[in-house]
Structure formats: structure tokens, C-alpha cells
Amino acid sequence: MRSRPRSLSAFVVFLCGLLTAGPAVAQGSLRERIDAFVRAEQKRQGVVGLAVGVVQHGRVVLAKGYGSANLEHRVPVGPDTLFQSGSVGKMFTAMAVMAQVEAGKISLSDPITKYFPDAPATWAPITVRHLLNHTSGIQDLEGQIDERKDYTDEEFARFIYALPLDFPAGVRWSYSNSGYVLLGILVNRVAGKPYVDVLGEKVFKPAGMKTARGISEDDVIPNRSSGYRLVGGEPKHQTWVSQSLNTTGDGALYFTVKDLIAWDAAVQKRSLLSEESWREILSPTRLNSGAAQPYGFGWQVLERNGKPLHQHGGAWQGFRAIYSRFLGDSLSIIVLANTDRASPAKFAEGIAALVNPALAVPKLAPIEDGEPQVTAQLTTLLEEVRAGTVDRARFAYAPKWLVDQALPHFKELLKRLGPAGPLVLAQREVVGDDRVYTYLVRFGADTHVFSVSLIPDGRVSLLRVSDKPN
């Protein structure tokens, strides 16, 4: 299903800090400098096509397409080109839910068994709020569901019922497409119409998002971009999935950069919903422990340069996207790309640094290591990953994809890189209840990044070894 945005767990939120601004570009007007940077970054990343929107202090600085929307027909990307939303669509699903809350049809404190009465008894403590802020404990269906099979709403629900709970509701934060699939079904049921129709009436039309809509393979849709994946450096069409997987609430929308500029104006004005609803949407989650998790309802609620940064990313079927709002600088950046290996976040980070150098992400550098015993333990862990001998008992609350897919990948990567130098601490953060450690590690002449998230008892919830040198 919809891939997690590039910063959507304690570990991935933390990884936002690893991105660095792009190469310097010639001086000139801001628009010219942004344009030059985007062209250079597009070439560096090998992105087939993308659209970029930049709004500062309510003024559109840039709304422009680059590259190709369709290689076969040689159609260029423009401001009217439609891209798939991926998980950026989650902020809109949250809007559809909150519209039902304001209509009195849903309460955030409602147990979801009220709307899914045949759900497992273990779901009784899970509320609508838990689904919205990814603290339900319901396992993510990504990588587990048959993407070539059509499902009804009831079949989607039954599939999710069979997934085990990863933790009790509210104990942790763990990104789950399953929760947003359920939210879409919930809106369908209480509104008596598809959630995308609710969005059309309550969000798209009043916000002036003239071409935003749900995905359809049947409809003739002007200006629709193709999605591409790179295979051996050559673009191929996106992988086909069943139509039903592009009707779910975890991120199944089309929109243009113009649509998101209109959406940005609505967000800036806090229109469409009440101030109380917006406060709920954009407030950090509180775990049962009282710890704050930097995620609201379909939004990451972070900080940059001591000021709020609200954003979300997404990836699906050869499309990648990010929408970032740097509130302290009244700066919004939209990047929509049609290539699976694109990194919209790197475009957004580079553009932000051009607008205000203080928004650049600091480059990782050694800091004092006050916990050498932790570093020693994680040095051993790194070598166990290389040898493929990691005891799975060392992990807790780790997502299924980490154990099944990431660890084998990291094993092969570490074998290719060769012997590791000492771990040098570069960052230590507390995200929710977890401690996140980031190290610089030399492999020959190159320095890579090794990051690990630990729960309070010291077990590992997430880890990563960067594929490319830092």
C-alpha cells in the first residue's frame, strides 16, 4: 500500500535531520536560484518529471513543471499535471474524518468497534483518535496484502482484523496504512458516500482545488502523469495494482501543484474546519506515558531552526511527493515527482536553504559521547547485522519490514563495504519514549551513517545503515 513518508516513525522522523541542502547555485533572483537548483537536482537524482511549488508570505514564488509527464507521448510536466498523492493524501483523509466529527457523526474518543462491530475483541480500547495519529497498534498491511486483488470495504476490514496488534493502543507510535484504510471505510459508512466525495464537497471545492480527485483507471483524466520506476537506470512503467487499492484512505488521490497551492492557502487561513479541529490536527500526539510524538492527524509536526515545520511525504506506484510548511518563515514547498527513486525531501530541503540559510539541516558532525556503554553495545549489533546473527529477541515493536527485508539488505551492504571503523556519535535524540542514536562510521575512505532507535529497556525498535556515503 502507500509507502511511509520518508520520516514517519520515531526512526524516520529522526532521519529528516540527515538530509542536507543541495549544491550552491549562482546568485540571482530567488526564483532563478530555485529554478537552477531544481534543474541540477533533477539531473543528479535522475527524476523523469516533477512539479514544484514555492509560496512565501502568501506569494507564489514558483509553480513550475520540469521534465516529462509521459515519456511515450513526450508530454512535459506543467503546473496542471496531475500526480498521485501517496501518503500526502492522509492529511485529506483526516479532513474528511474531522468534517464528520464537526457534523456530530463521529467522536474522536469513539471506540472503532462502534463502526466495525465485527472487529476482534482486542480492538476494544482503540479509538478513532488512535487511528488518526498512528498509535492504534494495528499492524501495517503494507507488503502483506495482495496488491493485484480487488477488495470490497468489508474484505479490506477483514484482512486488517487478521493482522496482529503490535502493542496496546496509545503505548507507542507506529506508522500504519491500515489505520487510514479503516478511516476511509469509516467515513464511507457514516457519510453514506465515498470519502473522496466528502473531500470534493468539504475540501476540494471550497478550497479551490479545481482538479484534485480520487484515482481512477476507468475515467479519462486530462493531464494525468505516468509513474515510473528505474530499473538498471532505465525508466519503466509503475507496477500495476488493482483498482480497489487506489480507492483507500491511506493516500489515493490525484492533485496538481496548483491544487496544493490552493490547499496551502486554506491551511494558512485555517479555513474549512473550526479552529478547534485544526488544533487537534496539528498538535503532537501524547502517548500513554505522557511523552510527545511529533505527529498530529496526517501531519508531521516538527521543528526547524527552533520554529514549527509541518509536513508529510508519500510514495506509491512510481510517484513521490512532499508538502512542507516552514511556519517561522511563512514558507511552503510542494514537490511532486513521478519517479520511484526521487527524493522530494532533498528538493524541499535545498529550496528551503536557498530561501533562508538558517533552514539548512546541519551536517552531521562528532559530538561528545556520554554513553560509551551504549556505543559499545551498538558496535556489537552492527557486526551481528553484518554476520546475519542478530538475535531477534533484541528487537521490540520493530516493523515487519525491518526484520524481513531491511536486515538482509543491510547484511549484504555491510559485506560490500568491508570492515567498519569505530562508531562516532553525531546525534542523540528522544522521540516519544525512544532514544535515537546516530553514528558516523568509516568504511575505507567513505563515511556512512548508522542509526538505531532504542525503547526504554534497551531493545531495538529500528535501525538503518545508509547506502550512500554521508
- 4 pLDDT band (50/70/90 cuts)? low
pLDDT digits (tens, 9 = 90+) for 412-459: 999 999 999 999 999 999 999 999 999 999 999 999 999 999 999 999
User: Which of the four pLDDT bands, split at 50, 70 and 90, describes residue 28?
Assistant: low
- The tens digit of pLDDT for each residue in 127-172 reads 999 999 999 999 999 989 999 999 999 999 999 999 999 999 999 9
Query: What is the model's pTM?
Result: 0.93
| List of E strands, 46-129 | 49-56, 59-70, 75-76, 83-84
Tell me which DSSP letter residue 364 carries: P
Question: Which of 345, 257, 252 lies closest to 77, judged by CA?
Answer: 257
Taking only the tens place, the pLDDT of each residue in 294-337 is 999 999 999 998 999 999 999 999 999 999 999 999 999 999 99
9-24 as b/e: b if 16+ CB within 10 A = bbbbbbbbbbbebbee
d(CA 70, CA 82): 11
Residue 140 has a pLDDT of 95
- Angle at Cα 53 formed by Cα 49 and Cα 59, nearest 5°? 160
